[in-house]
Amino acid sequence: MAKARKQKGDGGGAGGGGGATVLHQKLCVSIDMENQLIYGYTEIKVLLADNDTFALHADNMTIRSILVDGETAEFDYSPYWKNEGDQPNWSSISCLKTAADAACSTYTSSLNREAVPNLIVSYERSVKSITEQQLEENSEKHEENSGRLEEHGLKPVQASDDQIVNGCNGSAMEEQKEKENGNEKGKENGIETETEKVKNIKLVHIDYILEKAETSIHFVGNVLHSSSQIRRAHCWFPCIDSTTQRCPFDLEFTVSMDLIAVSNGDLLYQVLSKEDPTKKTYVYKLNTPVSAHWISLVVGPLEVLPDGNDISVSHICLSPALSKLRNTITFFHDAYSCYEDYLSTTFPLGLYKQIFLPPEMTVLPISLGASTCIFSSDILHDEKVIDQIIGTRIKLAYALAKQWFGIYTSAEEANDEWLLDGLAGFLTEIFIKRFLGNNEARYRRFKANSTVCESDVSGATALSSPAASSDLYGTQTIGSYGKVRSLKAVAVLQMLEKQMGPDSFRKILQVIVAPNRASRTLSTKEFRHLANKVGNLERPFLKEFFPRWVESCGCPVMRLGISYSKKRNMIELAVSRGCTAKATPDSDSHTNGDTREGDAGWPGMMSVRVHETDGAYDHPVLPMAGEALQVIEIQCHSKVAAKRVWKSKKSTKFDGSDDNIDVSTQENRTSIESPLQWIRVDPEMEYLAEIHFHQPVQMWINQLEKDKDVISQSQAISVLEKLPQLSSAVINALNNFLNDTKAFWRVRVEAAYALAVTASEATDFAGLLHLVKFYKSHRFDADIGMPRPNDFHDIPEYFVLEAIPHAVALVRSSDKNSPKGAIEFILQLLKYNDNNGNIYSDVYWLSAMVQAIGELELGQQGMGFLSSLLKRIDRLLQFDNFMPGYNGVLTVSCIRTLARIARKVSSSICLDRISELIAPFRNMDKPWKVRIEASKVLIDLELHHKGLDAALLLFLKYVDEEKSLRGWLAGVLFSFFACFDFF
């Protein structure tokens, strides 16, 4: 082995392999679980440039030897962790700002260093040129490693030894000779170019050892698994760790007889080891070219559950989770078949394997690999759990969609990754629409678009931005930025689908994944070409569309108001145009200069749907581009209703009771004197835009009561709850919608929260009364006035009722405290909850009630209830301790609520006492999620009680005590930092 030394600057381009192109890679390793050891070799077939060196990535391992075409090659190996020259001068740190700068500098320099290949191979140099010192170090290291392997009962790997993994198909050298023979034949036929190319193809054989790795590959007990973190494949096998380098893989893993190895592609066979009868080898073949970071591995005492619906899928987990696995995956063939049907082709990567491991073992909630996906098993659920169903199905469906768009078809360049991410999300929404309902799909897309418009304010959210990619080092694809970018990518693709039609867009996706397609990569430029050729979109439109939506940041902001001219029977629509991204001289450097406030550069024409007395009419009259201020006229079709004189009549109070008062309000007169019922802007969500529309209150009420579209209903509720003055008509409209069982349950939940917001002394707490009345009408026994035993058969109604306690807890009186009636109501629900005879679990039901307690503001008047509330929480904690519920959900809610109460009444109680109550939940015998939540809460209390320094010290203490907390608590710590102005 060559001496490890500081990295050279000319080792090759970042991620480029120093001019080498990988054609094929074979990985053969043996795994020693007891000693956390991986040893073996990899064979990489590379096409080299004219120079005599090439570069690979490798870290955290011992390189024992390298052969090029069977001959020993010289190499320089510089492990990244040994480069200490770029460490900052920590002694110069004097404040939090300089600490942040130093940490950022260290992080970016580390990323830059790791981007450069660090295993430099010189394949034409003579072995005799190696110095005597290097030879001695090589010999000593070889003897040391061999002795260590023999102590473990393992046989060291020789460069020409094929017996480390039994059952390898043929010799690599024979394969190379066949290629050379083929080249000679080609030369005879005059194919000189191919001959020269073959001369530059080399077979690189690398023997290596990996001991107790902590990055990319993880040993936890008798389970090993990899994680698909960016540019971390080189931490468990030598490779060119770049998304632009893709090749087929042959994979062989030797493990103990009692373990199963799951990896990429198809399992060709498993064979017993001749050298060690206690071991066997799993042989996989992946023919589809993929980059190295999509190679994954799971080894453990796994249970394999083949899918029973005639699809090539296997579901895998550890024994304790098997029953939950059976229940969870019953739907999966729907998603699998949906994608194959929509794309008109079979799954392209052979047998798909989804593996579920305990959350304390996994580094990421979802870790993708080619034809594999590793999930945290906390998304599994049994038939008794209701709340987990929708979320779990969407997560599994999205991971499957990423196999098509992201792995099988990959991005040509880093700036094209948004496209594959968006296509995977688009395909997932096809599944949601088909199997979870059109209302669910439209509602989720509406909320996603709202999130994008709210967050798309800087260049970090530009989908294809070279500046952001280089300056942010790929971090724009993770965390909150990553979420916004993914949602925006789907929205942009849906806009294109609306322009070209669903059939044309579907044809484009079918072309992309067609088996006979020459390339398995996709670029934004190629997709744009397909949009023109297959989708029949005009070049001028695309020329505007892609630069504005893909290469820039910001979303259009449309502010609109109406005025009706009775004389002309005409609507005057006033429009103000703006942009969510506001560029200033001191703005973020990542923000594109062309995204400025008031920018009117978006292509397209919005539609305005006018609901009149005799029908609805669409008017495509609102251009996305234009002046900042504009007035547009829209002709009405219906005639003006005859004017009538309104007499005083019986009206309804806020609480629904009757009283004789005159309610000939301006709102009613406005609606009678015009044919307008209500108006909607962009009703089909053809554009990603932030729309603020103003129309009379009665028209919003009409929209809520008469429009059956979930987006229209949600928009109406959002406006009505924010009105400065609330009429009885508004309160009653919200209440009627809450009670409408035909309405979509998610929007009914919004109506419940709107009633809570509108409840105040000014409205005689009508919203609170309606909420309590609604709940009691469904869940209370009218004869005794007490809650009935739980019955969750009506799933939509379950979700609506589950939200009521939380909504009640949000009601505030004029002193900003919770009304006494709200506190008593929630306490009563907790006290008399009875789940006997109910086939479904009430763990989320109880959890929602406990979290509602955390939302209460007790004040001086409510402090008398504190003892009773804490007593209820204590009983639930004891109950969940003796009879643990699903995933520790109830205990987590109790811990979280205790912490919230403690912070609110910190002046009355000692926070140290609360910390003592929560600390035992960090014990190793508690469920992992409970330990995580207890750690979060204790750090949070330490922050509020003793300050940031104390919280940081406690955080470091917890990380040192339990490694499985590291990734999760780091996110917690960052959320704390976000609360301070210096970030």
Q: Which amino acid is at 81?
A: W
Task: Give the pLDDT of residue 193.
Answer: 58
pLDDT tier for residue 80 given thresholds of 50, 70 and 90? confident
Of 49-58, 398-407, 612-621, 731-740, least confident by mean pLDDT is: 49-58
Q: Residue 645 above 50 pLDDT?
A: no
pLDDT tier for residue 654 given thresholds of 50, 70 and 90? low
Integer-rounded Cα radius of gyration of the chain:
32
User: 122-138 pLDDT, tens per residue?
Assistant: 876 433 333 344 444 44
Q: What is the mean pLDDT of residues 252-261?
A: 96
Picking from 58, 97, 65, the residue whose alpha carbon sits closest to that of residue 81 is 58
CA distance 847 to 930: 13
CA distance 43 to 169: 13
Higher-pLDDT residue of 419, 86: 419
Picking from 212, 356, 352, the residue whose alpha carbon sits closest to that of residue 298 is 356
Question: How big is the CA angle at 84 (ends 82 and 88), to the nearest 5 degrees?
Answer: 150
Q: What is the mean pLDDT of residues 909-936?
A: 86
User: 181-229 pLDDT, tens per residue?
Assistant: 544 444 445 455 555 566 788 999 999 999 988 788 999 989 999 988 7
CA distance 664 to 456: 44
Task: Give the pLDDT of residue 683.
Answer: 96
Task: Give the pLDDT of residue 148.
Answer: 42
User: 327-349 pLDDT, tens per residue?
Assistant: 999 999 999 999 999 999 999 99
CA distance 34 to 964: 19
Higher-pLDDT residue of 923, 465: 923
Q: What is the mean pLDDT of residues 676-680?
A: 96
In a 13 Å sphere around the CA of 544, the CA atoms on its Cβ side amount to: 11
Task: Give the pLDDT of residue 183.
Answer: 47
Task: Give the pLDDT of residue 131.
Answer: 39
Task: Give the pLDDT of residue 147.
Answer: 46
Question: Percent of the chain having pLDDT more than 90?
Answer: 59
Picking from 636, 603, 634, 630, the residue whose alpha carbon sits closest to that of residue 621 is 634
Annotate 360-380 with DSSP letters as a single string: TT-SSSEEEETTEEEEEGGG-
Of 52-61, 398-407, 667-676, 889-898, least confident by mean pLDDT is: 667-676
Picking from 390, 395, 328, 386, the residue whose alpha carbon sits closest to that of residue 848 is 386
CA distance 855 to 804: 13
Task: Give the pLDDT of residue 192.
Answer: 52
pLDDT tier for residue 801 given thresholds of 50, 70 and 90? very high
Strand ranges inside 301-351, DSSP E: 302-306, 313-318
Q: What is the mean pLDDT of residues 759-776?
A: 95
Strand ranges inside 33-130, DSSP E: 37-47, 53-56, 62-68, 71-72, 74-77, 119-122
Query: Contact at 8 Å (CB) between 47 and 23?
Result: yes
H or E, element range at 324: helix 322-328
CA distances to 227, 818, 906 from 92, in Å: 36, 50, 37
CA distance 149 to 170: 26
Task: Give the pLDDT of residue 807.
Answer: 97
User: 472-485 pLDDT, tens per residue?
Assistant: 666 777 778 889 99
CA distance 508 to 789: 53
pLDDT tier for residue 160 given thresholds of 50, 70 and 90? very low
DSSP structural state of residue 157: P
Structure tokens at 313: 């899928």
Question: Percent of the chain having pLDDT more than 70?
Answer: 80
pLDDT tier for residue 862 given thresholds of 50, 70 and 90? confident
Task: Give the pLDDT of residue 857.
Answer: 93
DSSP structural state of residue 395: H
**What's the chain's length in residues?**
983
Q: Residue 357 above 60 pLDDT?
A: yes
CA distance 869 to 376: 34
Task: Give the pLDDT of residue 983.
Answer: 32
CA distances to 8, 843, 882, 921 from 850, in Å: 59, 11, 18, 17
Q: Residue 19 above 80 pLDDT?
A: no
Task: Give the pLDDT of residue 253.
Answer: 96
H or E, element range at 609: strand 605-612
Question: How big is the CA angle at 421 (ends 415 and 425), to the nearest 5 degrees?
Answer: 155
User: 715-758 pLDDT, tens per residue?
Assistant: 999 999 999 988 999 999 999 999 999 999 999 999 999 999 99
Picking from 235, 233, 238, the residue whose alpha carbon sits closest to that of residue 264 is 233
DSSP structural state of residue 516: T
642 CB-contact burial (10 Å; exposed 0-12 / middle 13-18 / buried 19+): exposed
Strands 266-272 and 302-306, bridge-based pairing: unpaired
The count of other CB atoms within 10 Å of the CB of residue 480 is 12
Q: Residue 86 above 70 pLDDT?
A: no
pLDDT tier for residue 18 given thresholds of 50, 70 and 90? low
Structure tokens at 468: 């952001």
Q: Across the chain, what does the average pLDDT equal?
A: 83
Q: Residue 151 above 80 pLDDT?
A: no
Task: Identify the three-state secondary structure at position 782.
Answer: coil
pLDDT tier for residue 895 given thresholds of 50, 70 and 90? very high
Task: Give the pLDDT of residue 81.
Answer: 62
Task: Give the pLDDT of residue 349.
Answer: 94
Where is mean pLDDT largest: 39-53, 78-92, 528-542? 528-542
H or E, element range at 632: strand 629-635
285 CB-contact burial (10 Å; exposed 0-12 / middle 13-18 / buried 19+): middle
Structure tokens at 962: 């339990």
Of 253-262, 918-927, 948-957, least confident by mean pLDDT is: 948-957
Query: Contact at 8 Å (CB) between 254 and 39?
Result: no
Query: Contact at 8 Å (CB) between 662 and 648?
Result: yes
Task: Give the pLDDT of residue 4.
Answer: 40
Task: Identify the three-state secondary structure at position 269.
Answer: strand
User: 602-644 pLDDT, tens per residue?
Assistant: 888 999 999 999 999 999 999 998 888 999 999 998 887 555 4
Task: Give the pLDDT of residue 291.
Answer: 93
CA distance 877 to 867: 15
Q: Residue 800 above 90 pLDDT?
A: yes
Annotate 457-493 with DSSP letters as a single string: -SGGG-TT-HHHHHHHTTGGGSHHHHHHHHHHHHHHH
Dihedral angle, C-alpha 442, 448, 450, 454, nearest 10 °: -170
Task: Give the pLDDT of residue 642.
Answer: 54
